[in-house]
Amino acid sequence: MTNSTARAVIDLDVTGPVIDRHLYGHFAEHLGRCIYGGFYVGEDSPIPNEGGIRLDVVAALRALNIPNLRWPGGCFADEYHWRDGIGPKADRPVMVNTHWGNVEENNHFGTHEFMALCELLGAEPYVNGNVGSGTVQEMSEWVEYLTRDGDSPAVRQRKANGRDEAWRVPFWGIGNEAWGCGGNMRAEAYADEARRFATFCRDHGDNKLYKIAAGASDDDLAWTETLMKAVACLGCKKDPKKFFQGISFHYYTVPGTWQHKGSATEFGADDYYRTMIKAADIDRVIKGHSAVMDAYDPGRTIGLVCDEWGTWWDVEPGTNPGFLFQQNTQRDALVAGLHFDIFHRHAARLKMANIAQTVNVLQAMILTDDDGSLVLTPTYHVFEMNKGHQDAASLAVHLIDTPAAISVDDAALTPVSASASTKDGTVLISVTNLSLDSATKIDFDLRGLAVRSPRGRLLTSDQPQTHNSPASPGAVSPVEFEVRLTDGTLTAELPPHSFATIEVDLDSEPRGK
């Protein structure tokens, strides 16, 4: 193992945009075992539950301060008809999930169950409506059913189903991936549909919808520009939020091809570095979408939303290919750490992000089995270690000296990534050493304010392929590690392929630069 050094400067008295807590959002689709067998086990299950909702999953996610949960999809959203999922469970019709495994679902997890889940989690609901196979009336009445008080046919139906009070639903998706599974539309055609559907998604009472238009895949900037023109060209320049308040995009870390994505647990050094290079490229993608949006919305009143992100590998051998179940290693954790550093730097425009997905699917937080076992993944621990960034003021991290870039396939990767924020008298620094074989000593020169009481937490493993399992649930888990503070300089020594967080308390006395 070799050693390298790095140095960074942080001006503690110069704060940037607030890091919206909704950048730490989650995603739960009717896909594989995310809902059934993940969040929801049914009221008759021997696994402790409330109304069928699995309580150990709830407790684990509450520990992350989960800010929002997106549901019911994903591609599933555009074949979901919400009235099939309300009323007595025995009367709910069976549906076929044509997108994910062609399985039959009994609709026992529907609107009331999702809203109960959000209440248990303390998370704000993000409901994704059906544009692809639904109607304007259907979506409008779903909003009314959820959020209206008083009297109307939808309100009476909700009350008959056991809920007198309206719920608060802040986030509403106007379809999903309209360029693909959500309808295979052209951008111009979807823009017209988005305006039409959004018009009839009303604000009822004091519930104000943050309506999110289904945006681009990866770096399709033309799609984003079409949506921005769809707002600007209707005389809305004084109020560009009239139709929707956010525009989404999706970005998956797939270093291989869509046909051969690679194994979640069996990979070599080049595969590892290709993954990190692909993950880091989301910075370029966000910059591109932001530049397009700035041209039409210089005041940044419309938010950019990355409501699907994460690693996507080939499914685990022997599992249903339509269930997208993959293991979650230290490599996945480092992808998450790298993403959050980038998200923090774009906090002025990026207002929400949702990991795909929360339980048992893709880059999951939690893996469950029907026997009652529950495993927290390495990615879960990054979310937990980073939760102090939520709603904190960002601090720019100026990397002055870094180890030499690592090159694979004519692309280069800076092996050290970091971000920082401050809130309630505490500074939180996140730092990732992406090198596979080099430990890195990094000095953070903290300027402008005096600090005290340094403490550090480290997430690493012997190999980047290491993952947690029911037999070894703590193989990758955070531990305390030493951080030195000398005359305003924090020094930390990071082992290879590691993620760390460092906290210090602010003193009231300023420190000269």
pLDDT digit string (tens) for the chain, length 513 residues? 678 999 999 999 999 999 999 999 999 999 999 999 999 999 999 999 999 999 999 999 999 999 999 999 999 999 999 999 999 999 999 999 999 999 999 999 999 999 999 999 999 999 999 999 999 999 999 999 999 999 999 999 999 999 999 999 999 999 999 999 999 999 999 999 999 999 999 999 999 999 999 999 999 999 999 999 988 754 445 565 678 999 999 999 999 899 999 999 999 999 999 999 999 999 999 999 999 999 999 999 999 999 999 999 999 999 999 999 999 999 999 999 999 999 999 999 999 999 999 999 999 999 999 899 999 999 999 999 999 999 999 999 999 988 999 999 999 999 999 999 999 999 999 999 999 999 999 999 999 999 999 999 999 999 999 999 999 999 999 999 999 999 999 999 999 999 999 999 998 666 554
Q: Please give the DSSP secondary-structure letter assigned to residue 438.
A: E
113 vs 4, 110, 121, CA distance in Å? 51, 5, 12
Say if residues 472 and 446 touch (Cβ distance below 8 Å).
no
Cα 287 from Cα 346, distance rounded (Å): 8
Out of 2.60.40.1170, 1.10.3720.10, 2.60.40.1180, 2.60.40.10, which CATH number does the structure's domain 2-13+394-511 have? 2.60.40.1180
For the chain, the helix, strand and coil percentages under 3-state DSSP, each to the nearest 5: 25, 35, 40
pLDDT number for residue 231:
82
Domains of the chain, residue spans: 2-13+394-511, 21-390
CB neighbours of 504 closer than 8 A, spacing ≥ 6?
426, 427, 446, 451, 452, 453, 454, 455, 485, 490
Provide the token pair at 144: 């009314």
Phi/psi of residue 77, nearest 5 degrees: -60, -35
Cα 396 from Cα 120, distance rounded (Å): 35
Q: Which of 381, 371, 396 is nearest to 448 (CA)?
A: 396
Angle of helix 187-199 relative to helix 136-147, nearest 10 degrees, comes to 40
Cα 366 from Cα 313, distance rounded (Å): 17
Angle of helix 153-160 relative to helix 136-147, nearest 10 degrees, comes to 60
Q: Which of 482, 431, 441, 462 is nearest to 330 (CA)?
A: 462
The answer to whether 104 is a known catalytic residue is: no
How buried is residue 483: exposed, middle or buried, by Cβ count under 10 Å (0-12/13-18/19+)?
A: buried
3 state SS of 78: helix
How many residues in the chain?
513
The answer to whether 308 is a known catalytic residue is: yes
Catalytic residue among 79, 144, 177, 493: 177
Cα 302 from Cα 228, distance rounded (Å): 9
pLDDT number for residue 376:
98
Which residue is listed with tokens 């193992």?
A: 1
Say if residues 67 and 22 touch (Cβ distance below 8 Å).
yes
pLDDT number for residue 240:
57
Q: What is the dihedral of CA 329, 334, 336, 342, to 10 degrees?
A: -170
3 state SS of 463: coil
Q: What is the dihedral of CA 54, 89, 67, 477, to 10 degrees?
A: 20
Catalytic residue among 79, 308, 384, 493: 308
N-terminal to C-terminal alpha carbon distance within the chain: 36
Which residue is listed with tokens 């994903």?
A: 74
Strand partners, 443: 7, 491
CB neighbours of 379 closer than 8 A, spacing ≥ 6?
328, 332, 333, 335, 336, 355, 363, 364, 365
Domain 21-390, architecture per CATH: Alpha-Beta Barrel (3.20)
- Fill in the amino acid letter for 385: M
Say if residues 171 and 229 touch (Cβ distance below 8 Å).
no
Provide the token pair at 119: 């209440």
Provide the token pair at 38: 């993940």
Q: Which of 506, 265, 267 is nearest to 395 (CA)?
A: 506
- Tell me if the pTM is above 0.85: yes
